[in-house]
Structures are given as C-alpha cells and as structure tokens.
Structure 1
C-alpha cells in the first residue's frame, strides 16, 4: 500500500470516526501496511470493525480483520488441489497457492468437504433415490432370509421361548402373578420367568386341555382329588417342543452377507 492509497484508506476511516488526516499519517500507515493492498477486503475490514465498536481502528487491526475475512472464505470453500503428475514441486506450490488465493478472494463458492473431494453422488444415482423403498414392477419383492415356516420351526425349538410354554394359553391364577394369556409369569420381584410357569397355571392348563389318564376325568373337568393327578399334568406338557440343537445348527449355519465393518472408537483402558 502506497502513501496515497493509505491516505484514501484513512479517508474511509474518517467517515466513521471523524479523524483528521495529514501527510505524516498517510506515510506511517503506508509503511505499516506496505504488503497489504487497498482492495475491497481492506475497506471491508474497516467497515467490519466499526460495525461492532466505536473505538478508532489501527493499522494492525486492519491487517488482522482483513486476514480474518479472507480466512473465512478459504474455510468455507474447502479448496482441494489434486496436482498434476507431470508438474514440478515449484509448479505444484504455485498452483496450490493460486487456488488458495482464488478461494480467499471469493472466486470459489462455499461447499462442503464431500463436494470438494468429489464424493457427491452422480446425477444418475440421485435420480434413482426417490425409487428406494418402492417395489419394482419387473422384479419380485425380495424374500426374507428365513421364511415364515422356518422361523416358526426355530421359534418352537428355542428353550424358554413363549411358543414352547403351552401353559401360556391360560391365565395364571397365582395371586402374586395374575399374568394374562400369552404373557410370561413373573416372580415375586417382578422378573419374568422365561423357562417355566407357576404350578397353579400348569394345573389349570392340564384340567382344561387334557383327559386324566388315572381317573379318566375329561378336559374341563377336575380330577377326583383336590389337585390334578401328576399323570394328568405330565400328559398336558408331554407335547411341549424339545430343543433340537442339531436342527438349529443346520438352519442357522449359513448367515446372511456380513455388514461392512466399522471402526469403533474406544476411550482406551488397559488391555485384558
């Protein structure tokens, strides 16, 4: 910046703070800002300063504010220079600096990092996005990995599964439980009983669904004793599915395609 340009800049400052300008002021500011050109960014730095304070601006503040304005444009543009295999190191540095200067002067538009590195989906791919989740006319809908019949078979063989507890077909008469149909019994602490039910519920199920092999009482009729005969209870749960480990292994041996492995960030700690 020459003394004449510094005088013009001081006149711009005087429009805000009404300062007086002399030749010595112009020479001093020109010397302090000898490597700063008089451009729109320099004038914008003065306007930015007086937009937030009424204190007189200094040459150092002009330099600092102008650098902040240009750095903000560079950060918003995310300049990326891939380089040329045939260029020299000096040419690479010059081209890289030219791109930084273009971003600082506002010649590069603001963009995200994804856009800067060219990772934006192509126009053809973006055109297909609205069809995601809709059935394709020329193709049948994809079938699940395990069909419903196989899932029911697996579900029935799992130990402690609700489908394996036939007693869940009736309400639990236990006064501390009172679990409704298809709901697991609960302990006195409110914890679900996964692999069993209360004895009273088992007795009710045996009376409703099984004929007693000992006294001959038909379903829905009590035995000749106050409680159902043990043989009747055993007969009621005789059809409960038994876990078949070999069958489970066969059904689940072939897993679906593995998902993409993602890095997991940890907070450190001593290895065990």
Structure 2
C-alpha cells in the first residue's frame, strides 16, 4: 500500500467517523499496511466495522477484519489440491497457494466438502434417479398410523386417575384452593391432588349434574339439606371411569417398600 492508497482508505474511514486526515496519517497507515493492497475486501472491512460500532477503526482492526472476510471464503470453498506426481515441492507450494488465494478472492464457488473431494454422485446417476423418483403431492395428507377407533380403545385402557376426576368440570369452591375448571385441586401446602378433589368441589359437581334420589332436587338446584344427600353424590360419580384392571392387579402384587428403621438416642447415650 502506498501513501496515496492509505489516504484513500482514510478518506473512506472519515466518511464514517469524520476524522481529519493529514500527510503524516497517510504515511503511517501505508507503512503499517505495506503488505496489504487497497482492494474491495479492505473497504468492506471498514464498512463491516462501522456497521456494528461507532468507535474509530484502527490499523490492526482493518487488517484483522479483512483477514476474516477472506478466511470465510476459503472455508466456504473447501479448496482441495490433488497435486501432480511429477511436480516439485516448490511447484506444489506455489500451486497450492494460488488455489487458496483464488478461494480467498471469491474465484472459487462455495461448495460442500463432499463436492470438493468429488465423492458425490455422478451426473449420470443423478440423471437416472431423476427419472425414477416419484413426485410427492404436498396436498396429500398422510394416513394416520393408528385409526381413530383403535386409538380410542387403547386410550380407554390406559391407567390414570386424572381422566376419572369428573369433578374437574366445575370450579373448586374451597376457599384455600379455588382451583379453576379443568385444574387439579391443591392442598394447603400448594401440592396438586392427583387422585381426589376437595369435598366441596365434589358436592358442587353433584348439585350441578345429578338429580337427588332422596329429595328429588333437579340438577343445578340444591337439596333440602345444607349439603347434598349422599345418594346424590353417589349418583353423580356413578359413571366415573375405572382405572385399568391390569394396572390395579400389578399394584396389588407389588409388596410395600420396607420402612427404614432409625436408632433413637437419648441425651445420656442409652437406647430406649
């Protein structure tokens, strides 16, 4: 780079940071960038710098940013040199360096490593496969792996208590819970109740959905007593789904885990 090239580069920088340029600046930058030509990569490096920061660019940053741009092209091109058995070492180094320089300057197109080493399918094979590939219609929806009837049958046999909690259809009136519809009740410690609901929620569900066999109160009407009759509560949950019988049998066959015994000590060191 000559002082004239450095002055042009500094003028390009001044368009971004409004710096003042003198002869001494041009000579100093030319000496620091003596091995770097004034090319498009150098100007792109300055533009890339000011696209992300408003700080003045330095000589080191210009050199580093230009190198990154060129290395990125080399990595994308994956230059591979097969070599020549009859060439000398100097010829190999020169030709290999020329290939890398061409990749850095963008003269080699970006390609995968498979394409670079020639390991991809041949053009003849690609032409052959193009004639036998069956086109896929994107509008066609794939058939389900399991039909809906079988899926419903399988789902009905799966164990689980959450589906059996029909009381989740109503809000929980318990003042310490207030669980919304379709949400599990929570204990006073905030833990979800997986297999049951609060009694007030059970009564609210029975009042909403069942007719009382004792007093004849229709759904959505309270019983003649302060709380729903037990027969009304039983009628409301008569259709509750039953967990899988095999799951219950397995639970009954599994012995409970032994309780861990702990030694109790007194302050005097004697056992009770």
TM-score, with length taken from structure 1: 0.49
